[in-house]
């Protein structure tokens, strides 16, 4: 304790149970619980905010000033729970305070109740409600829908305040027995919430993960013969028929020919990709239709993205998520370290100073 | 881009409220999806505000104050991303990437405030020993106002500076850096996902993660389901989780039933 002279007593002076707290006081405290973290600090965390929240109830319960001081003092000890579920702890603690239970008992119940709620609240709010509502409304916002922030706020706060007020009343009525009710199913509940949580994260990797390696690797060239058909006079046609035969495998791109080295007619492909035999057709009016082939050489690109997608779409987001998970879980990386890693990765991948082509 | 005194004042007020709201009050007003739109309205470009807010929000999903950890500060990050995008015309992902250093700065600032607030507790003790309820109330109000003020001053300074030099910065950024920032900004959400996994994952839960991944791939492949995909998937996930809860509680049998009140004869 910071104070040397003040010692928190074990029992209250006035041991007569106080009258039930009225609905107005309960609601007032539920409202005040929104400011649980007002004076958050690393020494006592939410302690002063917790005390602030329950002051209306304590004032009603402890009409004896010494008891009020004792109650306030022990309620200013280290406190940390989930900010949205705190009213559950408030209800229980106040039902104990009202019955003037021993201070060590109240302290033990308070500590017992605040711990597990953190995990449940995280699972419920940060891991389920926020990812789902914010995920859906973010997409709406990106599409320019101005209602998105409002929808997010409405859903989030309806759930939040319904829980705050309902838990306050429910746990105050249940008193200590509520702890048993909760702890009986606590493990199963936390497990179910976690299952839903990891399931949703798996979904988010797909729906939100847009990272793709858009790198095209040059992978040689393809050679081909493209067919061209022209109508020329008989005289001009001789220029074509007189052309030397070529080896299509070695001839330079742009070379025109109708026959191969052995004098056989070439087969070229026309604009629609159909095979056409090169040759000359007499149209009978002094004109001839000449079909010749042009050697083409097109660069072929190997698309990293297409290849990865044939393994499984969204492979890059999945791998990045798993890599980060591995670093966080097995190497105790902080999220900040992960952010820095992605920063470096993003910038290196973009080819800093034009040193290499961007992969993004 | 020049801003009026009125706009500067509004940014100050929005930041003040958002800074307090990140730990208190509605604890949702501070989310980038909200602040992005509000900053957009103030600066006269709601659409960009929405776009950047939504993009930043995706990054912060999961990157929340879980287990008391301080993530990069979404208040400063979200507001600065919107300001930068509107002032410089940067592409949203790039603006988000550029705002990250500010968010990290904010994270540092919050840690500092939480540390500096610790000595206040001994004066709170004295108030409690004397049953000084008003003192405890004042102390909490003071602490909130202090946090809001620090944030508001810092962001407003960045905002004013950004308004004059923002354009210069944007044009000075080479293309590769913009691409890189943009790619990094788009990847930041994976940090959030990984943190969520770390908190929730047990050895026997990987199956549920991959099931979500697989089902989502199928769902988004159908264009008509792309928008409601997450909601549909959440329903499936809920079904699985609920079923598991029933399995777990029924297996435990009688030990559980004394917590609830079951009617006779059932």
Ordered DSSP codes for A139-169 = HHHHTT-TTHHHHHHHHHHHHHHHHHHHHHH
Q: Which residue of B has its CA nearest to A352?
A: B176
Does residue B211 share a domain with residue B89?
A: no
Long-range contacts of range A281-285, CB-CB < 8 Å, 24 or more positions apart? Answer: A282/A234, A283/A231
- For residue A2, the model assigns a pLDDT of 43
Do B107 and A337 meet the contact criterion of CB atoms below 8 Å apart?
A: no
- B264 occurs within a structural domain: no
- B145 occurs within a structural domain: yes
Last residue of a domain, one of B181, B200, B219: B200
* Residue B255, pLDDT above cutoff 70: no
| Relative orientation angle of helices B32-42 and B46-60, to the nearest 10 degrees | 160
How many other C-beta atoms can be found within 10 angstroms of the C-beta atom of residue B248? 16
- B107 occurs within a structural domain: yes
Could you tell me if B120 lies within 8 Å of chain A, comparing CB atoms?
yes
Ordered mean pLDDT values, 10 residues apiece, chain A (360 residues)? 67 89 94 93 85 96 94 88 90 89 79 68 77 84 91 94 93 70 66 79 81 81 80 78 75 78 79 79 80 81 85 91 91 80 87 80
B65-to-A117, A200, A237 alpha-carbon distances in Å: 15, 18, 81
- B84 occurs within a structural domain: yes
Domain membership of residue B125 as a residue range:
5-200
Do B129 and A8 meet the contact criterion of CB atoms below 8 Å apart?
A: no
Q: Which residue's entry shows tokens 């509605």?
A: B26
Could you tell me if A311 lies within 8 Å of chain B, comparing CB atoms?
no
Does residue B227 share a domain with residue B154?
A: no
Q: Cβ B197–A122 below 8 Å, yes or no?
A: no
Tell me the β-bridge partners of A225: A295
Nearest to residue A220, comparing CAs of A122, A321, A301? A301
- B247 occurs within a structural domain: yes
Exposure of A267 in the CB half-sphere (CA atoms within 13 A): 3
SS3 state at A43: coil
Question: Which backbone phi and psi does B108 adopt, to 5 degrees?
Answer: -60, -45
Domain boundaries, chain A: 23-208, 216-302, 314-354
Cβ neighbours of residue A122 under 8 Å, at least 6 residues apart? A82, B66, B67, B199
Tokens at residue B158, please?
């960045």
Does residue B133 share a domain with residue B168?
A: yes
Does residue B206 share a domain with residue B190?
A: no
Does residue B186 share a domain with residue B231?
A: no
- Residues of chain A positioned with their CB less than 8 A from the CB of B196: 126-127, 131, 197-198, 201
Q: How far is A256 from chain B (nearest CA, A)?
A: 42
Tell me the β-bridge partners of A267: A277
Q: Cβ A68–B193 below 8 Å, yes or no?
A: no
Does residue B85 share a domain with residue B61?
A: yes
- For residue A182, the model assigns a pLDDT of 54
pLDDT, chain B, mean: 82
Does residue B157 share a domain with residue B46?
A: yes
| Structure confidence by residue, pLDDT tens digits, B106-155 | 877 787 788 778 778 888 989 999 999 999 999 999 999 999 999 999 88
Q: Across the interface, which of A48, A83, A339 has its CB nearest the CB of B188?
A: A339
| Structure confidence by residue, pLDDT tens digits, A286-343 | 788 888 888 888 778 888 888 888 888 999 999 999 999 999 888 988 777 887 888 8
Cβ neighbours of residue A265 under 8 Å, at least 6 residues apart? A258, A259, A277, A278, A279
- Angstrom distance (rounded) from CA B184 to CA A345: 7
Nearest to residue A152, comparing CAs of B54, B22, B238, B51? B54
- Angstrom distance (rounded) from CA A292 to CA A140: 56
B window 13-42, beta carbon within 8 A of A: 23-29, 31, 33-34, 36-38
- B262 occurs within a structural domain: no
Tell me the β-bridge partners of A257: A293
Average pLDDT over residues B198-214: 86
- Angstrom distance (rounded) from CA B114 to CA A47: 13
Cβ neighbours of residue A240 under 8 Å, at least 6 residues apart? A232, A258, A280, A290, A292
> How many domains, chain B?
2
Could you tell me if B118 lies within 8 Å of chain A, comparing CB atoms?
yes
Question: Which backbone phi and psi does A299 adopt, to 5 degrees?
Answer: -70, 145
How many other C-beta atoms can be found within 10 angstroms of the C-beta atom of residue B67? 14
Does residue B160 share a domain with residue B38?
A: yes
Could you tell me if B123 lies within 8 Å of chain A, comparing CB atoms?
no
> b/e for B187-199, b at 16 or more Cβ within 10 A?
bbbbbbbbbbbbb
Does residue B157 share a domain with residue B38?
A: yes
Cβ neighbours of residue B97 under 8 Å, at least 6 residues apart? A343, A346, B180, B181, B182, B184, B185, B188
- Angstrom distance (rounded) from CA B254 to CA B105: 53
A window 174-213, beta carbon within 8 A of B: 180-182, 184-185, 187-189, 191-211
Q: Cβ A141–B199 below 8 Å, yes or no?
A: no
Do B219 and A185 meet the contact criterion of CB atoms below 8 Å apart?
A: no
Q: Cβ B259–A207 below 8 Å, yes or no?
A: no
- Residues of chain B positioned with their CB less than 8 A from the CB of A152: 28, 31, 33-34
- For residue A164, the model assigns a pLDDT of 94
Does residue B122 share a domain with residue B52?
A: yes
- For residue A115, the model assigns a pLDDT of 61
Q: Cβ A138–B141 below 8 Å, yes or no?
A: no
Exposure of B115 in the CB half-sphere (CA atoms within 13 A): 7
Angle at B153 between CA B157 and CA B86, to 5 degrees: 45
Q: Where are the alpha helices (DSSP H) in A1-46?
A: 23-32
Does residue B120 share a domain with residue B85?
A: yes
- For residue B256, the model assigns a pLDDT of 43
- Angstrom distance (rounded) from CA A292 to CA A237: 11
Exposure of A309 in the CB half-sphere (CA atoms within 13 A): 13
Q: Mutate which of B14, B22, B51, B57 to disrupt the A interface (most A C-beta within 10 Å)?
A: B57
Q: Cβ B215–A184 below 8 Å, yes or no?
A: no
Nearest to residue B127, comparing CAs of A237, A68, A275, A340? A68
Tokens at residue A257, please?
């020919």
Question: Radius of gyration of chain B from Cα atoms?
Answer: 23
Tokens at residue B37, please?
């739109």
Could you tell me if A79 lies within 8 Å of chain B, comparing CB atoms?
no
Q: How far is B262 from chain A (nearest CA, A)?
A: 13
| Residues listed for chain B | 266
Cα-Cα-Cα-Cα dihedral sign, residues A239, A242, A243, A248? positive
Instruction: Write a three-state SS string for chain B.
Output: CCCCHHHHHHHHHHHHHHHHHCCCCCCCCCCHHHHHHHHHHHCCCHHHHHHHHHHHHHHHCCCCCHHHCCCCCHHHHHHHHHHHHHHHCCCHHHHHHHHHHHHHHHHHHHHHHHHHCCCHHHHHHHHHHCCCHHHHHHHHHHHHHHHHHHHHHHHHHHHHHHHHHHHHHHHHCCHHHHHHHHHHHHHCHHHHHHHHHHHHCCHHHHHHHHHHHHHHHHHHHCHHHCCCHHHHHHHHHHHHHHHHHHHHHHHHCHHHHCCCCCCCCC
pTM for the model: 0.67
Nearest to residue A125, comparing CAs of A99, A165, A153, A160? A160
Q: Which residue of A has its CA nearest to B247?
A: A188
- Angstrom distance (rounded) from CA B23 to CA B150: 15
- For residue B264, the model assigns a pLDDT of 41
Does residue B95 share a domain with residue B50?
A: yes
């Amino acid at each position: 304790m910071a104070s040397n002279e003040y010692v928190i007593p074990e029992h209250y002076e006035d041991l007569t149970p106080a009258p039930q707290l009225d609905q107005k006081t309960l609601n007032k405290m539920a409202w005040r619980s929104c400011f649980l973290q007002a004076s958050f600090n690393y020494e006592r965390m939410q302690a002063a905010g917790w005390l602030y929240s329950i002051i209306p109830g304590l004032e009603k319960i402890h009409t004896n000033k010494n008891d009020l001081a004792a109650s306030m003092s022990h309620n200013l000890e280290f406190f940390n729970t989930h900010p949205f579920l705190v009213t559950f702890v408030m209800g229980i603690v106040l039902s104990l305070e009202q019955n003037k239970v021993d201070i060590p008992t109240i302290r033990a119940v308070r500590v017992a109740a605040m711990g597990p709620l953190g995990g449940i609240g995280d699972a419920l709010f940060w891991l389920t409600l926020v990812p789902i509502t914010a995920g859906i409304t973010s997409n709406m916002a990106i599409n320019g829908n101005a209602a998105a922030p409002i929808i997010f706020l409405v859903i989030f706060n309806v759930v939040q305040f319904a829980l705050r007020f309902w838990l306050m009343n429910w746990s105050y009525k249940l008193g200590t027995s509520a702890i048993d009710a909760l702890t009986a199913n606590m493990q199963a509940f936390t497990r179910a919430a976690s299952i839903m949580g990891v399931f949703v994260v798996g979904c988010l990797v797909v729906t939100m993960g847009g990272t793709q390696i858009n790198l095209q690797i040059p992978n040689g060239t393809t050679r081909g013969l493209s067919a061209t058909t022209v109508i020329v006079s008989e005289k001009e046609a001789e220029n074509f028929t007189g052309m030397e035969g070529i080896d299509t495998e070695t001839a330079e791109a742009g070379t025109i020919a109708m026959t191969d080295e052995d004098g056989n007619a070439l087969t070229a492909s026309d604009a629609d990709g159909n095979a056409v035999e090169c040759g000359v057709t007499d149209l009978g009016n002094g004109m001839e239709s000449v079909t010749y082939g042009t050697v083409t050489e097109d660069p072929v690109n190997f698309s990293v993205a297409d290849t990865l997608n044939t393994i499984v779409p969204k492979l890059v987001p999945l791998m990045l998520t798993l890599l980060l998970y591995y670093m966080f879980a097995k190497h105790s990386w902080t999220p900040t370290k992960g952010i820095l890693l992605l920063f470096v990765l993003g910038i290196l991948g973009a080819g800093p100073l034009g040193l290499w082509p961007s992969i993004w | 881009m020049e801003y009026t005194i009125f706009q500067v004042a509004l940014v100050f007020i929005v930041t003040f409220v958002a800074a307090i709201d990140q730990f208190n009050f509605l604890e949702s007003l501070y989310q980038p999806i909200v602040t992005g739109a509000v900053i957009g309205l103030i600066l006269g470009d709601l659409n960009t505000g929405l776009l950047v807010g939504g993009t930043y929000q995706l990054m912060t999903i999961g990157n929340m104050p879980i287990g008391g950890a301080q993530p990069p500060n979404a208040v400063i990050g979200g507001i600065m991303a919107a300001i930068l995008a509107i002032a410089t015309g940067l592409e949203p992902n790039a603006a988000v990437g550029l705002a990250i250093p500010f968010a990290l700065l904010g994270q540092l600032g919050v840690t500092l405030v939480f540390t500096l607030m610790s000595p206040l507790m001994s004066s709170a003790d004295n108030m409690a020993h004397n049953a000084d309820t008003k003192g405890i109330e004042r102390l909490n109000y003071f602490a909130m106002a202090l946090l809001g003020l620090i944030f508001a001053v810092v962001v407003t300074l960045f905002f004013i500076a950004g308004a004059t030099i923002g354009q210069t910065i944007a044009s000075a950024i080479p293309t590769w850096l913009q691409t890189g920032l943009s790619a990094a900004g788009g990847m930041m959400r994976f940090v959030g996902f990984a943190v969520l996994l770390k908190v929730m994952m047990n050895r026997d839960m990987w199956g549920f993660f991959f099931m979500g991944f697989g089902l989502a791939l199928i769902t988004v492949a159908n264009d008509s389901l792309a928008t409601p995909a997450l909601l549909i998937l959440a329903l499936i996930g809920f079904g699985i989780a609920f079923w598991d809860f029933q399995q777990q509680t029924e297996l435990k049998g009688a030990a559980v039933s004394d917590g609830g009140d079951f009617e006779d004869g059932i």
